[in-house]
Structure formats: structure tokens, C-alpha cells
Structure 1
Amino acid sequence: MPATSQRLLGLAAMLVTVTIWASLFISLRQASQSVLTSGDIALLRFLPAALLFGWLSRHRVRHIVSVPKRYLFAIAFGAGLPFYLLAATGMQFAPVADGASLIPGILPLFVSAIAWGVYGESLSVGRRLGIGLIVIGIGAFLWHSLFFSPWSVTQGHFILLAASISWAWFTIGVRVTGLNAAEAGAVLAISAVLLLPVGAISGLISFNLLQAPLGELGYHVLAQGLGVGIIANYSYAFAIRRLGAEMSAAIGAFTPVVAALIAIPVFSETVSTLTVVAMALIVFGAVLASEGIKWRRTQTKSGPQAA
């Protein structure tokens, strides 16, 4: 397929991804006000994806297990259950616009930092300028939360930053392993489902599905299970393979704009001038930082891997 067509498909996949990501933050905010627990939402999110992607990847098990385990861990931890619990906890304290800015919005910063620090990639002047703007935007959020917001909001911001670092490892993990979208989805979803009983036994998560109204369960099955767990996981991994990790992360930085516009009528949230300025700095910085990373890769028996 011509390179232009590949890029167009990647861009279309990222448009779908951004729309679903924005809906994710709305869903997480609603879940924080629901009788459903984080464990319930995680089960509804990951179980359908584990069944679907596991079935699609059933003949690729040898290829998947041949991938260096540190990369599989980056995928499983980066967008699996640990990431979800960080994001869900952070959204209990922070407004939708903040959560959407501090996870996908600053993803290019962490992707570039990992690429530079771990893989030795050089950073151009444009990318450095973009990263600088993202840092200023993050600083504006944290400065406002530290000095003008309740401590709970500040805690939420730091938890969301941790979630963004986690997601950056997932983004790079998908890019360097050579796994296709279904294989990457199987790794993160199946690992999440396997970790749920561990979390329940340890007391870190609990379940309350039987007490939830059917309508609410149906909404989260569609929003989390189908939308985020299956469609967005597939479309984001698909986009990374065709656009690269950096460009995909940069387009994802537009998520806070979409999420904030949805949250205003849904939750009657107000967006302060400082939030608008911080979001603009992060989005513009992400666009500047969107130059493709020239990943060094080698061949293995089963497919391309990072050097």
C-alpha cells in the first residue's frame, strides 16, 4: 500500500482514537460518581478485549512470547490494569479537562524523553521547543493546583502524571516490538484480566457489579468494553504502526480540547482562563514535538525488534 494511503489510514485511526479517549474521561468521571467500583469498570473494559484479541491472536502466541519480556511488560503495565487504576484514581479528584490534558496531552513529552534517554535518539530544535511548551503547560496546571486548589486536586494531578508516564511506555512498547494491533491488545487485555483476581485478593480493588443498575452497566460495557477496550486500543496501535509513536502521541494531545467541550454541558464544568492557556501550550507543544523518531530496529526470528 502506498505510503500516503498508510498515513491517511493512520490519521483516520487517530481521529477515532481521540474521540473515544475524550469519551473515556467522561466515562471515568461518571464512574467516580457511580456505585460501580474501579474493579467493576476494569472488568467491563478488559474482559471483552481479552476475549476478542486473544481469539484473533491465537495463532500468534509463539511470535508474542518471543518478544523480549521487558517490552511485553511495558505494554501490559503501560495501558493495562495498572494504567487504568492510576487514571481512574486521578479522575476522582481532577476535572475532566485536567485529566485529559495530563494524560494524552503530555504523552509526547514522555515519549520523547524515553526515546532520548533509553534509545539515544537526538532531539531537533523544533522538538525541544515543543517539549518546552508542554513543560510550561504542565507547570501551569501544577502551579495552580499547588497554590489555588484543594490538596486533593493536586494529588489527582500527580497521579495523572504517573498515568501518562505509564502510557508512554505502552506507546513505545507497541512501536518497538513489531506486534500488530490485535497482538498488542491481547497482551494488555489478557494481562489485565489475570491481574484482577490478584488485586481483589490483595484488597486493592473490589467489585460491586450486582448492585449496579442494568442501564449503567450497559453504558460502561459500550463506553469502556467496546469503545476503549476494543476499538481505541486497536485504532491507537494501528496508528502507531503507520504514523509512528511521536506523531500518534501528538495527535492524541488534542484529546483535552474535545473532552473539555463535552464536559462543559455534561458536568457543568467551567474551564478557567489558566486551564485554557495551559491546554493551548500543551497542544501546540505536542504538535511541534511530533517529528518522527527514527527507531533503531533489528530483525528477530519472529519479527522486527528494537536494538
Structure 2
Amino acid sequence: MDITRHPKAGHAALLLLVCIWAGFYVSLRSGGRLALEPATLATLRFAPAGLLLLPRLWLNRRDLARVGPWRALLIVAGGGLGFFLLASIALREASTDTASVLILGTLPLMVALVGALWLRRWPSRGQWPALALIVAGTAWIAIGNPALTAPTLWRLLACSLAWALYTVALRASGLAVLDAAALVAAGSLLLLLPWLVLSPPWQLAELSPATLLPPLLPPLLVQGVLVGLVATLCYGFALERLGSLRVAAAGALAPLLAALMALALFGEAPAHAALPGMMLLMGGVLASSRAAP
């Protein structure tokens, strides 16, 4: 029996995706706390999946060429290297709960905005109240969290916009799930190579395996394997089965899980003044999911 054809397969992929997303933000925050350089984190993120899927990218180059250069660039940058670099910088400045709730919580708003401006598909009447809640929640968090600076806020919103562009471009491309994963992972690795030549990840070369493995093994497993390969496949599959708005709305669960993980691992507690804004934002995300056509 092909489990990918099961009616609940899309929801199962989405549930796994939410868990990996939560681990992604905690792992990035952990990398910042360990003072890992962006080149080191990017290598851990894209090298395993990129090397594994590079043959797939080459073998299906003709199908991938039909996507077009601009759409392919949006997919690679928005869902790969560009998003990762923005998020890794932002997670050095913002707490895990704030970063995850703003990136994932504003995603339905960004998807609706990109859909309206790019595809001329305006939100339905039932979606407007949900989007208004997301705007209100974002404003409350920005005002109620004194540790959140304006540059960090804009970086987090830029992350959400990048992921929305990736989501819309990926769905419009018609790529198979594995081809999309190959484009994101291997394409990001190819874009990363010139940067690695100019700024080599010397941290990986200077440390002995005994010193290197304990702090880097969790980010390698989470970023390189789970996020780099499994989450990319799950996201493409769930997007194909459930649609962009429902997948974006599932992000309401990931910040809560990420906040609990950060509290247990780092002792990070959400700012009390920002909690109502987080509730408003996640309520808007859930309402957006229910109003999705």
C-alpha cells in the first residue's frame, strides 16, 4: 500500500513538519548561543542534503529549466539560503518564541499579500478578520516587547515574506516534491560555494572531533538532515495536498512548541507584555486556516 495516497497523509506530513520547524528555531538559537559563525551554520544546513540531492538536480535539469530562472531563484532564496541567513541573524537578536511566532505567525498574511500582488488572488471575505488579527498581534508584540528592536523586527518580517514568496513560487512551479527539494538544497549549496571560498568555515577545521561533535551534532542532525531533507519533502507534499494557506496556518503550533523547547533548554520565557499579542497572532493564524477556500 502506498501511504502517500492515504487521505490523512498530508496531515501526517504537516504534523511532522511542525515538529521539525520548532526544532529548526531552537537549533538556530542554539547556534547563536554557541557563537557559531553563519558560514558554519550554513554548511551544516545545506551540505548533507545538497550533496545527496545534487545528482537529482542534474538528472532532472530539463524539467527544472522549465520553472524559469526568476521562479527558481525565488524558490532557492526564499526557501533555502536567503531565508536561512536572515533567520540565523535574527535568532542571534530575538528570543526563540518571538522569532518563531513572528516568522510563522505572519506567514498567512504574507502569503495572502504575495498572492494578491503577484497572482491577483485577493483574500476571501472570511479571511479579512483573520488577517486583521495577525496585524494586531504583530503590532502588540512590537510594542509590548522592549527587547525587540526595529531592525530585528524587520528582519523577522523579511524572513516571513521570503518564505511566502517561496511558498507561492513553489506551488506555481508544478515541480514534483523531490525535484523541489533538490532545487532548494542543491541550489542553495551551489550558491553557498562562492561564499565558503571567501569566508571558509574555519571553526570546523580548527576543532578536534572530540571537541567538535558534542555541540555540533544536534545542529547537524536538525539542520542538515531533518530541516534540509525531511522538512523540505514534508513541506512540498503538504503544500500539494492541503494548499498554501492551510500549511501556513499550521505554523501557529510550531511557535508554541518552540517556546516550550526553548524554556526547557535555555530558560527563555516569553515577555509577559507580548503574550496577548502572541495569542492574537496565533488566533488569527488559526482563523485564517478555517477561512481558507
Q: TM-score of the superposition, structure 1-length normalised?
A: 0.87
Query: Could you tell me how far apart the structure 2 residues matched to 1:253 and 1:199 are?
Result: 34
Output one character per residue of 1:154-213: Cα deviation in whole Å (capped at 9) or x when no partner.
33222111111101111111111011221111111122112223324565x854212342
Question: Aligned partner of 1:220: which letter?
Answer: P
Asked if the contact 2:25–2:96 (Cα under 8 Å) also holds between the matched residues in 1, the reply is yes
Q: Are residues 1:176 and 2:172 paired?
A: yes
Aligned match of 2:87? 87
Aligned match of 2:147? 149
Asked if the contact 1:46–1:190 (Cα under 8 Å) also holds between the matched residues in 2, the reply is yes
Aligned match of 2:14? 14
Q: Are residues 1:190 and 2:190 paired?
A: no
SS at match of 2:33: coil
Q: Which structure shows the bigger proportion of residues in helix conformation?
A: 2
**Alignment equivalent of 1:211, drawn from 195, 203, 206:** 206
Asked if the contact 2:98–2:270 (Cα under 8 Å) also holds between the matched residues in 1, the reply is no
Q: CA deviation at 1:5?
A: 5.8
Q: CA deviation at 1:134?
A: 0.5
Asked if the contact 2:111–2:167 (Cα under 8 Å) also holds between the matched residues in 1, the reply is yes
Q: CA deviation at 1:23?
A: 0.7
Moved more, 224-233 or 117-126: 117-126
Asked if the contact 1:76–1:188 (Cα under 8 Å) also holds between the matched residues in 2, the reply is yes
Asked if the contact 1:105–1:254 (Cα under 8 Å) also holds between the matched residues in 2, the reply is no
Q: CA deviation at 1:142?
A: 1.4
Q: CA deviation at 1:117?
A: 1.6
How many aligned positions are there? 287
SS at match of 1:67: coil
Asked if the contact 1:7–1:242 (Cα under 8 Å) also holds between the matched residues in 2, the reply is no
Moved more, 251-260 or 18-27: 251-260
Aligned match of 1:303? none
Percent identity over the alignment? 32
CA distance 1:72–1:292, shift in 2 (3 Å): farther
Q: Are residues 1:162 and 2:158 paired?
A: yes
SS at match of 1:124: coil
CA distance 1:141–1:7, shift in 2 (3 Å): farther
Question: Aligned partner of 1:210: which letter?
Answer: A
Q: TM-score of the superposition, structure 2-length normalised?
A: 0.91
Output one character per residue of 1:224-273: Cα deviation in whole Å (capped at 9) or x when no partner.
10111111111111100110111100112321111111111111111233
Query: Could you tell me how far apart the structure 2 residues matched to 1:292 and 1:192 are?
Result: 31
Aligned match of 2:271? 272
Aligned match of 2:61? 61
Aligned match of 1:255? 254
Query: Could you tell me how far apart the structure 2 residues matched to 1:58 and 1:197 are?
Result: 17
Asked if the contact 2:112–2:122 (Cα under 8 Å) also holds between the matched residues in 1, the reply is no
Moved more, 272-281 or 182-191: 272-281
Where do 5+ consecutive residues of structure 2 fail to align? Answer: none
Aligned match of 2:24? 24
CA distance 1:178–1:47, shift in 2 (3 Å): same
SS at match of 2:122: coil
Moved more, 56-65 or 181-190: 56-65
Provide the alpha-carbon RMSD of the alignment.
2.2
Output one character per residue of 1:57-76: Cα deviation in whole Å (capped at 9) or x when no partner.
55322111111222111101
CA distance 1:149–1:247, shift in 2 (3 Å): same
Aligned match of 1:105? 105
Asked if the contact 1:6–1:242 (Cα under 8 Å) also holds between the matched residues in 2, the reply is no
